[in-house]
Amino acid sequence: MAKYYDIDDILADEELVPAVFLEAVNGVGLLQSNETNRIEPRSKVELPFWLASELHLRQAASVNVPPCYNKKTREEIGADGAHVDLRSRCSYFYQLGCKIVQLIGDKTIGSLLLVAFQIRYKEVLIKAHTSASILGPKFLSLLTKEETKLYDAAKSSTAAFKSWRMGGPRFQKASVLGRKRKPIGE
Amino acid sequence: MYGRKASQLLKEFVSGEPGQLTGFNNDVFAQVIEECDGNILHLQALLRKMQEEGSNNQTNKNADHFGALVHHLSLVRNKRCLMAYVYNRAEVIQNLGWTIKHADLPAAVKEKLSISENEYFGKHSSNLQSYMLDLNLDLAVDMVPPKDPYIKVRVLEEIGEVLLSDQIANLAMHSILFLKRIDAESFISQGKMEELTS
C-alpha cells in the first residue's frame, strides 16, 4: 500500500490487457454491444489491468500477455532496441511488464524488459546529456513514461551542473508564479 | 468502461509541469462520484437478488457474485484515483506555504484551488507562521546558502516605501538596489524583484 497515492502506479494499472472470461458475469456494462448486461463465459475482452488482475486472481477471468510483449516486439528490440516506438505500444512498458510477470509467471518477459532497458537506458542518457533541444521531440516520442522521466532527470542534472559551474545557486521566483504572463496593456 | 473518467483526471494532473497546479476539475470529479453512485446501486441490487435467492456467496459463486465483484472493484479503483488526485494536489499546496504567504496568494493561483483546498492552504500556512513565531525564526528564508549578506536586486513591480531591517527604502519600479538578503528573499520569491549577478 506504499504506492497507494502513486499516480504512475495508478496509470500503469489503466493499461488494457487482453483477457478471457471464465465465468458468466451479471449486471455489468463493460461491453457496449450487448443489452442484457451479461457477459458469457469464454468471451474475449480488453480490460484495464486493475480489473483484469483481480478477476484473474479469483479465477473469474484469465489474463493473456499483452501484445506489446509479443514476438514481433521482441524481434524489433533485439534488432535495434533504442529506436523501437514503445510509447505507442504501452506507455508503461516496464511497470506493466513487472506486474504481468507476477500475475502469470511468464519468465521470458523479465529478460525482455532487462535487455530493452539496458540498450535504451544508454541511448537516453547520451541523448539527454549531449543533444541540442532540436533533436529532442522526435526521439522523445519513442520513449515510455518511465524513460521520459529518466531523460528529464538527466537533462536537469546537466543543467544543474552547468549553473553550478557558472557561479552557484541563486534566488528564484516561486515556481507556481513562473508561468504567469503579464496581462496585455499593463 | 469503469474507472476511465477517474484516470483521465489523473492524466490531466500529470500532464502539467511538476510543482504547477491546474484548475481543480470539478466537472470530472463530480462525474466520477456519479459513476460510483451507479456502481453502488448495481452492487446493492445484485446483493439483494443473491439474498433473495438464498445463495451463500462464499460457497456458490454464480454470475451475480462476479457481477457484484466487478462493481466492488470499480468502486475501490475510483476511490483510489480520487484520493490520489486530492492527495497529490495537497502536497503541491503545502509547498506553496513555504514560498508565498497566504495573504499574498495571487488570484491566478487562488482560482485554481477548490474551496476546501483554499481553506487547507490557509490553515497550513497559518500553522507554519505560528510555528515560526514560536521559534522566533523565519524558516522560509535562506533556502539557498548565502555567500554575502547583501545582494543586488532590481525591482520589477511598484512596491513603495517599505521598512526593511536596516533602512527605509523606496522600492520603485525598475530601481536597482543593494539590499540585505533576508529582506529581498521574500520579494524575489513573490516575483516582485529579481536578483542581479555582478
Assign residue A158 the CATH number of its domain. 1.20.58.2050
Domain boundary among A64, A96, A115: A64
Residues in B touching A14 (Cβ below 8 Å) = 3, 7
- Claim to verify: residue A57 and residue A80 sit in the same structural domain: no
Domain boundary among A48, A64, A80: A64
Domain boundary among B135, B168, B183: B135
Cα dihedral across residues A24, A29, A32, A33: positive or negative: positive
Kindly report, residue by residue over A98-121, the tens digit of the pLDDT.
Answer: 889 888 878 888 888 998 999 899
Q: In whole angstroms, give the CA distance from residue B168 to residue B175.
A: 15
Kindly report, residue by residue over B162-188, the tens digit of the pLDDT.
Answer: 887 777 888 888 888 888 887 887 788
In a domain, B47, yes or no: yes
Nearest C-alpha of chain A: how many angstroms from B135? 24
Kindly report, residue by residue over B41-67, the tens digit of the pLDDT.
Answer: 988 988 888 888 876 655 567 788 888
Q: What pLDDT score does B73 carry?
A: 92
In a domain, A179, yes or no: no
In a domain, B81, yes or no: yes
- A50 and B109 in contact by Cβ < 8 A? no
Residues in B touching A2 (Cβ below 8 Å) = none
Backbone torsions φ then ψ of A137, nearest 5 degrees = -50, -45
Report the number of distinct structural domains present in chain A. Answer: 2
- Claim to verify: residue A18 and residue A76 sit in the same structural domain: no
- B42, B39, B34, B33: which is closest to B81 by C-alpha? B33
- B69 and A8 in contact by Cβ < 8 A? no
0.85 surpassed by complex ipTM: no
Mutation site for B-interface testing, chosen from A39, A176, A181, A186 by largest number of B Cβ within 10 Å: A176
Residues in A touching B20 (Cβ below 8 Å) = 175-176, 178-179
Q: In whole angstroms, give the CA distance from residue B135 to residue A66.
A: 57
In a domain, A107, yes or no: yes
Domain boundary among B86, B101, B135: B135
- B63 and A24 in contact by Cβ < 8 A? yes
Q: Which of residues 118-147 of B touch A (CB under 8 A)?
A: 144-145, 147
- Claim to verify: residue B131 and residue B154 sit in the same structural domain: no
CA triplet B186, B190, B192: central angle to 5 degrees?
95
Residues in B touching A167 (Cβ below 8 Å) = 197
Kindly report, residue by residue over B94-151, the tens digit of the pLDDT.
Answer: 888 777 765 667 777 888 888 898 889 888 888 888 998 898 887 777 666 777 788 8
* Residues in CB range of B36: below 8 A, 6 or more apart: B75, B78, B79
Per-residue cell: B54: 438464498
Which residues constitute the domain of residue A31? 1-64
Report the number of distinct structural domains present in chain B. Answer: 2
With cell 433473495, the residue in question is B52
Domain boundary among B135, B163, B181: B135
CATH number of the domain encompassing residue B39: 1.20.58.1030
Q: What pLDDT score does B74 carry?
A: 92
Dihedral, B23, B24, B26, B31 alpha carbons, nearest 10: 110
Which residues constitute the domain of residue B188? 150-195
In a domain, A25, yes or no: yes
Q: What pLDDT score does A49 carry?
A: 92
**CA distances (Å), origin B88, targets A92, B8, B10:** 20, 15, 10
In a domain, A172, yes or no: no
Q: In whole angstroms, give the CA distance from residue B176 to residue B31.
A: 52
More confident residue, B182 or B7: B7
- Claim to verify: residue B115 and residue B168 sit in the same structural domain: no
